[in-house]
A and B are shown apart, each in its own frame.
Chain A
Amino acid sequence: MTTLAPTRPTESAGVRVLRTVLRSRELAIVIVLVAIVLFATARRSSFVFSADGWRDTLLAPSILLVLAVGQMVVVVTRNVDLSIGSTLGISAYVVGKIFVANPDTSVFVVFAAGIAVGAVVGAINGLLVTVFNVPSLVITLGMMYVLRGALTHEVGSERINAQDFPAHFEKLGTQQVLTIPVLTIIALVVVAVVGYYLHTARGGRELYAIGSDPDAAVLYGLPAARRVFGAFVLCGALAGLAGVFSTARYATAFSGTGKDIELQAVAAVVIGGVAIFGGSGTVWGAAIGAFLLVTINRALPILGISEFWQGAVVGLLIIGSIVLDRVLSIRRQHRLLEARDHA
């Protein structure tokens, strides 16, 4: 079979890269994403070609982008973090409270505070999961309730409104550098750094190894507990960052901020081709998945899909992308089997 590309030494590096890209799972969602943007733009050029449209196209996904990256890192270790929505809410409220106390607080302090709050929550999750060796789905489900309950208990009916945030912070929500929103730039930097780490660094590869086979990883001597702990801390910290993003963009914080967003983050990760049982997938995939999920919600009204059926379309998209994963992996399996038979 000539399709056995990966090991053929005769091919040039360029062809190999091209082949990998063409066969990659990520490409499929990029194509869907581009198609949606093109269709929407064809119907309403302002979807992309207007100041607001361009900005929103880039800015709207930034929050989910950050969350999806964090979730991906946890999912790849065969865990899941359902508490990120509550973490986001707590971080957003802390940010609001800081500004209520002192409107002149530097933006950097606020970012640091938000991330720190998230990291602490992530560390608690990580400790519970690794020290007690209990399933993360249950732990983070419990933590989701506990954190949201604690937040509601503390906040009550209070709502931090636009009037409570200083202008310099509110402006950050839409500030652009070379037409690219600042929040998007930060989100993309996060994607790039985490993506690079997972792709190349030893620690990153070990996360995949742990997710592929936790028992084998431990037997092999990988510091599995430490790595999983680290993944939860990172996920929490990014949820905290998303909380800062949320306040900057929506200029409001209350007890319900970030509710239900955890399932969206998991959905983005799944759409992005990350295996829910760990060990495979890329940060880029998760990021594109988040981009697609947000963009399709923005584009559907323009594509003429009735308001009432949009939820169903998003559901189909998620199912479609997991089925696609399956089809691709079966085909890969076939190829490998054939290769073995020919050998």
Chain B
Amino acid sequence: MRINTKRFAAGAALALVASVGLAACGSDDGGSGDGDGTTVTFLPKNLGNPYFETSDAGGEKAVKEFGGVYDEVGPDTAGPDAQVSYIDTAAAQGVNVLVVSANDPDALCDSLNAAREAGTKVVTFDSDTNPECRDLFINQATAEGIAKVQVDMIAEQIGDSGEIAILSAAANATNQNAWIELMEAELEASHPDIELVATVYGDDDDQTSFDKTAALLADHPNLKGIISPTTVGISAAARYLSTSDAKGKVALTGLGTPNQMRDYVKDGTVTEFALWNPEDLGFLSAYAGKALADGDITGEEGDTFSAGDLGEFTVGADGTVLLGDPFRYNADNIDDFNF
């Protein structure tokens, strides 16, 4: 009896070890994702973010147009390496194209390169990784252009002088930090009378951004304007301002989506904000991925490809494709958009 059970336990353990070992030896041809269409997986920074919902919807539209298979996966929070396991999974599934908005330029590199070695084409959009970890980056607008449009808007709204503050996303957010640096340079160069008194971080969380806005206003009674270069930040700040005495006195601008900002533009809290069209961004990314997967382009500078209704695009330096200029939304045009 005793011996039997021991043997059974040993057998079970062996079975486990064997199965693990067998799997280790099994050289499986995983990348057999042939079939009719190109498989395209979108991996946004996190799910539950309306900006990415819109961009990924654009991607889905494009994938349907060229008859591919669309999928969207993503972590629920935007940690620096939260996306790693999704990249790994996509690589294991052997998808043809992975379209990523990177939470961190370095953290994803190993995984992305492993995926590329496995034959997956990697396109980044919205937020880039280091150039050597992807095939193409679809840039929504140049960083300089994004910084400049925000500085221009705030300057127009506060009469080109006074104290302003920035409400950013997380303190380490790559995009935001790059834009903030350029905005500081732009302010210094072209708007000497505007003083940037504080930069605070709302962590792309509604409630934190809301509370930070309140704290900004309390701490800087002479504040004339706030720039929030993140869609979550600007809508939370607008919500606070709209209920505060500062409504109409403190200007708010930055990057936002029309649906989140509509009420605040109509009630006068916000005059004008900017964004590119995230749907076009996703659409273009999907077509770029398709062109790579089909071997039409390799991501070299000067390569050209067609992106459906958006027309022809040319790959620029460092494997970057530029979508266009940021678009300004205000009371006159906001009702034309629904995203």
Contacts and interface: CB of A to CB of B under 8 A. Distances in A.
Interface stretch (A69-77, A196-204, A250-258): A250-258
A157 B53 contact: yes
Interface stretch (B17-25, B32-40, B130-138, B258-266): B258-266
Interface stretch (B81-89, B216-224, B288-296, B317-325): B216-224
A270 to B, nearest CB: 21
A104 interface: no
A150 to B, nearest CB: 13
Given A60-B214, A297-B211, A252 B48 contact: no
B227 interface: no
Contact of A308 (B47, B171, B215, B243): B171
Interface stretch (B145-153, B176-184, B200-208): B200-208
A117 B181 CA distance: 46
Contacts of A255: 47-48, 76
A250 B207 contact: yes
A163 interface: yes
Nearest to B244: A52
Interface string A156-175: 11110111000000000110
Contacts of B47: 152, 156-157, 255
B7 to A, nearest CB: 35
Interface string A303-326: 000011000000000000000000
Nearest to A162: B263
B50 A159 contact: yes
Contacts, number: 95
A219 B335 CA distance: 68
A250 B76 contact: no
B246 A52 contact: yes
Interface range on chain A: under 10, 10 to 19, 20 to 34, or 35 or more?
35 or more
A292 to B, nearest CB: 15
A146 to B, nearest CB: 14
Given A156-B47, A301-B200, A51 B264 contact: no
A44 B221 contact: yes
Contacts of B214: 52, 56, 60, 298
Contacts of A250: 206-207, 210, 236, 239
A314 B264 CA distance: 33
B201 to A, nearest CB: 7
A157 B50 CA distance: 6
Contacts of A229: none
A307 B200 contact: yes
Given A52-B244, A152-B76, A301 B219 contact: yes
A255 B74 CA distance: 14
A106 B52 CA distance: 33
Interface string A55-95: 01000100000000000000000000000000000000000
A102 interface: no
B245 interface: yes
A219 B217 CA distance: 57
The majority secondary structure among interface residues of chain B is helix
Given A256-B48, A307-B201, A302 B211 contact: no
B49 interface: yes
Contacts of A156: 47-48
A103 interface: no
Contacts of B219: 44, 301-302
Contact residue range for chain B?
Answer: 35 or more
A155 interface: yes
B243 A174 contact: yes
A156 B217 CA distance: 34
A157 B218 contact: no
A83 B259 CA distance: 31
Given A52-B244, A301-B215, A152 B48 contact: yes
Interface in B233-262: 235-236, 238-239, 243-246, 259-260, 262
B190 interface: no
Interface in B52-96: 52-53, 56, 76-77
A191 B117 CA distance: 60
Given A52-B246, A157-B53, A47 B218 contact: yes
A60 to B, nearest CB: 7
Contacts of B238: 162
A242 B201 CA distance: 25
Interface in A165-197: 173-174
B81 to A, nearest CB: 19
Nearest to A149: B76
A44 B218 contact: yes
B210 to A, nearest CB: 6
Nearest to B207: A250
Contacts of B50: 157, 159, 161
A246 B264 CA distance: 19
Contact of A162 (B211, B218, B239): B239
Contacts of B236: 250, 252
Contact of A56 (B216, B218, B260): B218
A239 to B, nearest CB: 15
Given A152-B47, A254-B48, A298-B218, A163 B259 contact: yes
B262 A163 contact: yes
A252 B256 CA distance: 15
A161 B246 contact: no
Which of A47, A56, A157, A251 has most B Cβ within 10 Å? A157
A341 B216 CA distance: 57
A224 B175 CA distance: 55
Contacts of A44: 218-219, 221
Given A162-B264, A250-B206, A259-B77, 4 more contacts: A52-B214, A158-B53, A173-B243, A298-B218
Interface of A: 44, 46-47, 50-53, 56, 60, 152, 155-159, 161-163, 173-174, 246, 249-252, 254-257, 259, 297-298, 301-302, 307-308
6 contacts: A47-B218, A56-B214, A162-B264, A250-B207, A250-B239, A252-B235
Interface of B: 47-50, 52-53, 56, 76-77, 171, 200-201, 205-207, 210-211, 214-219, 221, 235-236, 238-239, 243-246, 259-260, 262-264
Q: Which 5 A-B pairs have the closest CB atoms?
A: A157-B53, A255-B48, A174-B243, A162-B263, A159-B50
